[in-house]
């Protein structure tokens, strides 16, 4: 049972189906990891131990009685603490919201629980989700499990979801992504994370940062796991997911097709200059693998620069972030995270003209990208240009979101997945960005790469 915490969604689903293991055993293994590692990792805001054990026992009895719902039945999962669960506090990573008890559950939480998922707890986040490093001055910064000796950034803003999943405190977790907040922690923590198309999944019951750009998404250990969780969050009937998984149909059928014949857009040599040498080399190796699998690799000149899109996203997040949280940050009785306060208050300075102009321009740029991507299945890049930095050395005026914000700006979907390990023992990540509503394409390409890749193993703390 001690190794059950290393089993992902698909593996556990197969174990339950065969009778090799039960949800009670899997949840007990995760809770044992929580007890052992949470004092160091500090990944959770709240651990729902008693409720998780009860739900796991119920799932075990149901499956034993022949009432298995689908592949997510009995799977331990966690929710980023922006997502409401009825009767529990949603802090949003802020002391100012520490007494905010949810009167109802978010739709995506309801769907995961209706699919049979066992909620382990709620994970830490950057205050109001406005930060890419995963740091939080008020409620603590989770420890990246890939370095046992030095406190490194877990990535943000879904910091606790990344750390908890990577270390086996849960089989998977939900993050939210406004400028990279599912993909950056997936990159830094060696996970597979899916940023879904803008508007693809419901946002009700999720504390907003930018209502235009916010997207919830799965953070898992494999591409198949991401697909199972994504479909569950999308409200697909669990029995249908189970059938498609078993019969290799739908998304799962597409993931068996490989990349032969697909054209993939890749960064020009000039656009690779800001990558660290190791990330640049690993990216080149990844492209070589995809080419050997039959994909055509074509450099794409981006219609707008990476920096232009990055700062355009900052305009939207800042303006909408101030709309949603400005009053909280301006209240002198609240002691807010100073790093986040600076970003929120910068949004106050955005004029209506600038804000509406940014919204209009992104529609134009989206059209330019769709035109430039004709004949291409996706644009493939690194997820982050660096590996996880030491927390004490982070410059909060910088961000590792150069390549992630592009997908949010365009409203596209994007998959982040491991592509190698640097000499410092930290994971590096590949990003596959596909057009809006083309999650299946991103997952297909990701599965082909994953199947050809030896993997990165487990972090030091696991």
Catalytic residue among 181, 186, 210, 222: 181
Give the residue-averaged pLDDT of 29-43.
98
pLDDT at 2 over 60: no
Q: What is the pLDDT of residue 1?
A: 45
Residue 140 binned pLDDT confidence (cut-offs 50, 70, 90): very high
Look up 248 and say whether it is catalytic: no
User: In this structure, are residues 259 and 443 in contact, taking their beta carbons and an 8 Å threshold?
Assistant: no
* pLDDT (tens digit per residue) in 423-448: 999 999 999 999 999 999 999 999 99
Per-residue HEC secondary structure of 223-241 comes to HHHHHHHHHHHCCCCHHHH
Cβ–Cβ contacts within 10 Å for residue 202, how many?
16
Helix-then-strand count for the chain, H and E: 15, 11
Give the residue-averaged pLDDT of 157-165.
99
User: What is the set of domains in the chain, with CATH numbers?
Assistant: 4-251 (3.90.1300.10)
Catalytic residue among 80, 110, 195, 447: 80
Share of the chain above pLDDT 70, in %: 100
Helix axes 238-247 and 223-233, enclosed angle (nearest 10): 150
Look up 32 and say whether it is catalytic: no
Distance CA 354, CA 357 (A): 5
Copy the structure tokens of residue 398: 């910088």
* pLDDT (tens digit per residue) in 95-130: 999 999 999 999 999 999 999 999 999 999 999 999
Give the residue-averaged pLDDT of 150-154.
98
Residue 394's contacts (CB-CB under 8 Å, 6 or more residues apart) are 133, 135, 153
Q: Is 305 exposed, middle or buried (0-12, 13-18, 19+ CB in 10 A)?
A: exposed
Q: What is the pLDDT of residue 206?
A: 99
* pLDDT (tens digit per residue) in 324-346: 999 999 999 999 999 999 999 99
Distance CA 263, CA 130 (A): 35
* pLDDT (tens digit per residue) in 238-256: 999 999 999 999 999 999 9
Catalytic residue among 157, 159, 186, 282: 157
- Nearest residue to 432 via CA among 374, 366, 382, 385: 382
Distance CA 50, CA 56 (A): 10
Cα angle, residue 192 at apex, residues 191 and 194 outer, rounded to 5°: 135
CA 437 to chain CA mean position, Å: 17
Give the residue-averaged pLDDT of 69-87.
99
Q: What is the pLDDT of residue 381?
A: 99
Look up 18 and say whether it is catalytic: no
| 3-state SS assignment for residue 32 | helix
Average pLDDT, the chain: 98
Give φ, ψ of 261 to 5 degrees: 90, -10
- Nearest residue to 445 via CA among 381, 384, 386, 392: 381
The DSSP element (H or E) to which 298 belongs, if any, is: strand 296-299
């Amino acid at each position: 049972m001690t190794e059950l915490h290393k089993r992902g969604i698909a593996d556990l689903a197969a174990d339950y189906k065969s009778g090799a293991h039960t949800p009670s055993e899997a949840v007990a293994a995760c809770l044992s990891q929580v007890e052992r590692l949470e004092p160091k990792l500090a990944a959770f805001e709240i651990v729902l131990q008693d409720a998780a054990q009860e739900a796991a026992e119920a799932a075990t009895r149901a499956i034993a009685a022949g009432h298995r719902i689908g592949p997510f039945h009995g799977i331990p999962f966690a929710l980023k603490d922006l997502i409401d669960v009825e009767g529990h506090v949603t802090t949003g990573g802020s002391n100012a919201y520490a007494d905010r008890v949810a009167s109802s559950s978010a739709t995506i939480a309801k769907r995961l629980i209706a699919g049979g998922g066992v909620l382990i707890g709620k994970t830490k986040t950057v205050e109001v989700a406005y930060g890419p490093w995963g740091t939080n001055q008020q409620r603590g910064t989770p420890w990246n499990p890939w370095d046992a000796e030095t406190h490194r950034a877990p990535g943000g803003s879904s910091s606790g979801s990344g750390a908890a999943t990577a270390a086996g405190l849960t089989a998977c977790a939900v993050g939210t992504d406004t400028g990279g907040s599912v993909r950056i922690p997936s990159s830094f923590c060696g996970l597979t994370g899916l940023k879904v198309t803008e508007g693809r999944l419901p946002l009700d019951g999720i504390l907003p940062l930018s209502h235009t750009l916010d997207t919830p998404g799965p953070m898992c250990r494999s591409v198949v796991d991401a697909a199972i969780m994504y479909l569950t969050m999308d409200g697909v009937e669990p029995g249908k997911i189970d059938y498609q998984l078993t019969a290799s149909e739908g998304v799962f059928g597409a993931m068996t097709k490989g990349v032969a014949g697909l054209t993939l857009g890749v960064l020009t040599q000039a656009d690779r200059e800001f990558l660290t040498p190791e990330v640049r080399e690993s990216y080149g190796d990844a492209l070589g693998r995809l080419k050997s699998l039959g994909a055509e690799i074509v450099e794409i000149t981006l219609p707008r620069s990476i920096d232009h899109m990055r700062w355009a996203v900052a305009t939207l997040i800042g303006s909408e972030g101030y709309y949603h949280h400005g009053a909280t940050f301006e209240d002198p009785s609240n002691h807010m995270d100073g790093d986040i306060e600076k970003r929120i208050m910068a949004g106050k300075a955005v004029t209506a003209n600038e804000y509406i102009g940014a919204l209009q321009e992104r529609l134009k740029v989206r059209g330019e990208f769709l035109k430039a991507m004709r004949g291409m299945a996706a644009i493939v890049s690194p997820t982050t240009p660096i590996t996880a930095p030491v927390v004490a050395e982070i410059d909060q005026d910088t961000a590792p979101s150069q390549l992630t914000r592009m997908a949010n700006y365009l409203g596209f979907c994007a998959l982040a997945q491991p592509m190698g390990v640097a000499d410092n023992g930290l994971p590096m990540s590949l990003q596959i960005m596909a057009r809006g509503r083309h999650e299946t394409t991103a997952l297909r390409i990701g599965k082909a790469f994953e199947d050809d890749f030896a993997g990165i193993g487990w972090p030091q703390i696991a």
